[in-house]
Amino acid sequence: MELKEARDRFIHTWGTLSTQWGINRTMSQIHALLLLSDKALNADEIMEELQISRGNVNMNLRDLISWGLIFKQLIPGERKEYFVAEKDIWKVTRQISRERRRRELTPLLDAMNDIRNSIKDQEEARGLLKIVNDIDAVASLADSTLELISREESQWLVSTFARLTQKG
Amino acid sequence: MELKEARDRFIHTWGTLSTQWGINRTMSQIHALLLLSDKALNADEIMEELQISRGNVNMNLRDLISWGLIFKQLIPGERKEYFVAEKDIWKVTRQISRERRRRELTPLLDAMNDIRNSIKDQEEARGLLKIVNDIDAVASLADSTLELISREESQWLVSTFARLTQKG
DNA sequence: AATAATTTTCAGAATATTTTGAAAATTCAA
DNA sequence: TTGAATTTTCAAAATATTCTGAAAATTATT
């Protein structure tokens, strides 16, 4: 396979898989492109490479920045804004953990709490209360796990955990 | 809050949050409804409760079955098919882990492998190879973790892990 | 068999999401 | 300042996803 072809395949795969996780395809493709690029790219270069509009590029660059996955890089003498991706995949993983925790788990835990509070004294709400508590427990576990992953020093623990999973 | 109102809120919350994980809203709502119900429900009851069409109900019941989250229950003397959800949330979690692993991680790992094989001898593909390997490592870790969670005996280990995350 | 009940399918409708592209806003240089 | 370069915004278009509902298929009953 040609190098170019392999790069395109990588970008394409990344874009496709991401939609299953509820992440915008273009956002993932831009991310993949920047991950592969050893120099910073500007909006025009991204438009050209991925064949998408300026508005689309701009919007998704903003999103990627808000996820903490890419950064603006100002190049001396250049007027345009350039963007680079965080290349350390462990940092990327931690950052995604952090954001998904904040954006998804915290709201879920809050919602479960609200419901629990609203029914806690009602005898006839036993069934609902049990499910809410169970889901709260699983979500709390997921939350703790992501919190752990998102810590600076987590990598050794994560790999320890991984090793644990290899055997029985 | 009324019990009915709390139940509806639960169903609604579950439906909303699920879309962020790339899961169909209606599918999640049906799941939530069945989680809350202590008796098996048939298609008409689900249509009525969630105010959705027969086709929609049918399709999403199939999907939930394919995810292993609900089961058909035949009631003696009844012509209609009834459905019950697996109520043990740990089992549910394990089942979801199993399926996401199969549907999402395995394809990603395969794709990374294909790309790696296609470029492994090319000196000029160093950068791409590094990213592919890094992503493969993270995906493998996620894969192992889900594999662990999906095991029958995993619960104690999962809680141990959770406890680890509480402290430093 | 014929009929009635139930489930499944799937084309078209409805809805939601993403993308475009051009106008508006902003930023920088002269 | 003015104006050119660049970025941002956002209404409308394009696309993707979900949902409906009625017809077709299947299953059970008489």
Per the CB < 8 A criterion, the answer to whether A118 and A78 are in contact is no
CB within 8 Å of chain A, chain B residues 137-156: 137-138, 140-141, 144-145, 147-148
A112 and A75 assigned to the same domain: no
Let me know whether B124 and B63 are in one domain: no
**Position A21 pLDDT exceeds 90:** no
Nearest residue on chain A to B159, alpha-carbon basis: A141
Mark whether A98 and A62 lie in a shared domain: no
Is residue B43 domain-shared with residue B12, that is, in the same domain? yes
Contact across the interface for A164 and B158, Cβ inside 8 Å? no
The domain tally of chain B equals: 2
- Please say which residue of B51, B85, B119 terminates a domain: B85
Verify that B93 and B123 share a domain, yes or no.
Answer: yes
Nearest to B89 among A89, A111, A138 (CB): A138
Q: Which of B40, B68, B85 is the last residue of a domain?
A: B85
Domain limits at A55? 3-85
Same domain assignment for residues A61 and A119: no
Checking if the pLDDT of B159 tops 50, the result is yes
pLDDT digits (tens, 9 = 90+) for A139-155: 888 888 888 888 877 66
Q: What per-residue confidence (pLDDT) applies to B168?
A: 46
Q: Across the strands, what pairs with A88?
A: none
For residues A59 and A9, state if they share a domain.
yes
Q: How confident is the model at residue A86 (pLDDT cuts 50, 70, 90)?
A: very high
User: Between these two residues, B113 and B17, which has the higher pLDDT value?
Assistant: B113
How do residues A25-45 score in pLDDT, each as one tens digit? 999 999 999 999 999 999 999
Question: Is the CB of residue A61 inside 7 Å of nucleic acid strand D?
Answer: yes
Residues of B in contact with A128 (CB under 8 A): 3, 6-7, 10, 36
> Are the C-beta atoms of B9 and A125 separated by less than 8 Å?
no
- State chain B's mean pLDDT as an integer: 90
Q: Assess whether B42 and B98 both reside in one domain.
A: no
Q: How far is B146 from chain A (nearest CA, A)?
A: 9
Q: Tens digit of pLDDT for each residue in B45-60?
A: 999 999 999 999 999 9
Cα of A1 to nearest chain B Cα, Å:
5
Phi and psi for A41 in degrees, rounded to 5? -115, 150
Interchain contact A108–B (C-beta under 8 A): yes
Mean pLDDT of B1-10: 90
Kindly tell me if the per-residue pLDDT of B42 is higher than 90.
Answer: yes
ipTM: 0.90
Nucleotides on chain D that have an atom closer than 7 A to a protein CB are 5-11, 17-22, 28-29
Tell me, yes or no, whether B71 and B134 share the same domain. Answer: no
Query: Tell me, in Å, how far CA of A86 is from C1' of D6?
Result: 24
Residue A21 DSSP one-character state: T
> In this structure, are B73 and B11 located in the same domain?
yes
Cβ contacts of A141 on chain B, cutoff 8 Å: 158-159, 162
Query: Is pLDDT larger for residue A52 or for residue B137?
Result: A52
> Which nucleotides on strand C sit less than 7 A from a protein beta carbon?
5-11, 17-22, 28-29
* DSSP string computed for chain B: --HHHHHHHHHHHHHHHHHTTT--HHHHHHHHHHHH-SS-EEHHHHHHHHT--HHHHHHHHHHHHHTTSEEEEEPTT--SEEEEE---HHHHHHHHHHHHIIIIIHHHHHHHHHHHHHHTT-GGGHHHHHHHHHHHHHHHHHHHHHHHHHSGGGHHHHHHHHHHHH--
Q: For residue B127, give both structure tokens.
A: 């950068």
What pLDDT, on a 0 to 100 scale, did the predictor assign at position A168?
47
Residue A164, pLDDT above cutoff 70 = no
Same domain for B30 and B64, yes or no, is yes
Last residue of a domain, one of B25, B57, B85: B85
